[in-house]
Amino acid sequence: MKGDRFEESVKVVQSMSAPGRFLEDVLRRCGLIDGYAVVQSPIGVVYAAMGERGITAVMEASSETEFEGRYRERFGRRVERRDQLSAELQNAMQRGSRAKVDLSECNPFQRAVLEATRRIRPGTVRPYAWIAREIGHPGAVRAVGTALAKNPVPLIVPCHRVVRSDGETGEYALGADDKVRILEHEGVHVPELRRRVTMHEFWSPEGDDTFCYPFCFSEPQLHGRHFRKFQTPQEAVRLGLTPCETCHPPLAA
C-alpha cells in the first residue's frame, strides 16, 4: 500500500537522531564549553580552565573526571580538556596578576575584593583588614575572608598573599598548608610576618620621602636598609613624608 509506505517513512524520519557529537559541537561553537589544561604550580599540578572571557578556574583535583564534575557543579558549565591551551594557561600561571580572568560568576563585592588582591605584589602580603579598607568597607573584614575563600582563580588572583592581622597566614582556598608553601616560594619569610603585619605602625626607608605599612616591603627590600618607624601617620606627615601609593597608609590614624 503506497500510503502506508509514506507513513512508515515519516515514522523513520521522525525517529532519526542528530549525530552523536551534534550537541557538543553546537555548544562549543557558541562558546558554551570551556577548555582546561593541567598546569604546573608551586604546589604541584593543578587544573586551570578558561572560557571566551578569560581564565575561569584554578582547582586541585584527583582526576580529570573529578575536575570536570566539580567545575560543572560550581559554574554550571561544561568543560573539556584542550591541550592546545596548555601553553597559554601555563603562561597565565606565571604572569599571575596580569593574566585575563573571568570573574563574571562573582558578585560585585567579591570582584572588588579580588581586584584589590590582584594589586598585591609577589613577595609581599596584606592583612584582610587592609583589603576591607581598600575597597571602602573597613568593617567587612570577615566578608573579605569569605570572598577570598571563594576565589575561583587562586594562584592567579593571589589570595594567598592576604593574611591575618596577627601575622598568622590563615585559611586558603587550596588548603592552609599550601598557603605557607606558596608564600615561601615567593620569598616571604613567614615567621617574620607576625612582626610586620600590622596597620598600627608606619615605616619609611631612610632617605625616602614616602611612608608605608610595614608589610609593603618584600624580603629583599628589607635587606641592608634602615627604616624610620612611626606609631601614627601624623608623625610621618609632620616630617614632610607622603603616603605610599602602593599600600595607601592613611594621613591620620
CA distance 196 to 115: 23
**Residues near other proteins (CB under 8 A), total:** 26
Among 30, 62, 224, 252, binds other proteins (CB under 8 A): 30
Binding of other proteins by 10 (CB under 8 A): yes
Minimum CB separation from other proteins for residue 34, in Å?
11
User: What stretch of H or E contains 88?
Assistant: helix 86-95
CA distance 182 to 118: 15
Nearer to other proteins, 103 or 140 (CB): 103
Binding of other proteins by 27 (CB under 8 A): yes
Minimum CB separation from other proteins for residue 88, in Å?
23
Which residues, 6 or more positions from 251, have their beta carbon under 8 angstroms from its beta carbon?
233, 234, 237, 243
Minimum CB separation from other proteins for residue 6, in Å?
6
Binding of other proteins by 8 (CB under 8 A): yes
Work out whether strand 210-211 and strand 242-243 pair parallel, antiparallel, or are unpaired.
parallel
Binding of other proteins by 73 (CB under 8 A): no
Which residues, 6 or more positions from 230, have their beta carbon under 8 angstroms from its beta carbon?
201, 202, 203, 204, 211, 236
Minimum CB separation from other proteins for residue 16, in Å?
5
**Catalytic annotation, residues:** 159
From residue 142, alpha-carbon distances to 129, 147, 149, 152, 164 in Å are 9, 9, 11, 18, 11
Which residues, 6 or more positions from 121, have their beta carbon under 8 angstroms from its beta carbon?
218, 246
Binding of other proteins by 3 (CB under 8 A): yes
Binding of other proteins by 63 (CB under 8 A): no
Binding of other proteins by 26 (CB under 8 A): yes
Cα end-to-end span (Å), the chain? 96
User: What stretch of H or E contains 163?
Assistant: strand 162-163
Nearer to other proteins, 20 or 139 (CB): 20
Spatial CA neighbour of 247 closest among 115, 123, 131, 96: 131
Binding of other proteins by 32 (CB under 8 A): yes
Interacting stretch for other proteins, rule CB under 8 A, among 29-37, 132-140, 143-151, 216-224?
29-37
Binding of other proteins by 143 (CB under 8 A): no
Nearer to other proteins, 24 or 168 (CB): 24
Q: What are the residues binding other proteins (CB under 8 A)?
A: 2-3, 5-6, 8-10, 12-14, 16-20, 22-23, 25-27, 29-30, 32, 76-78
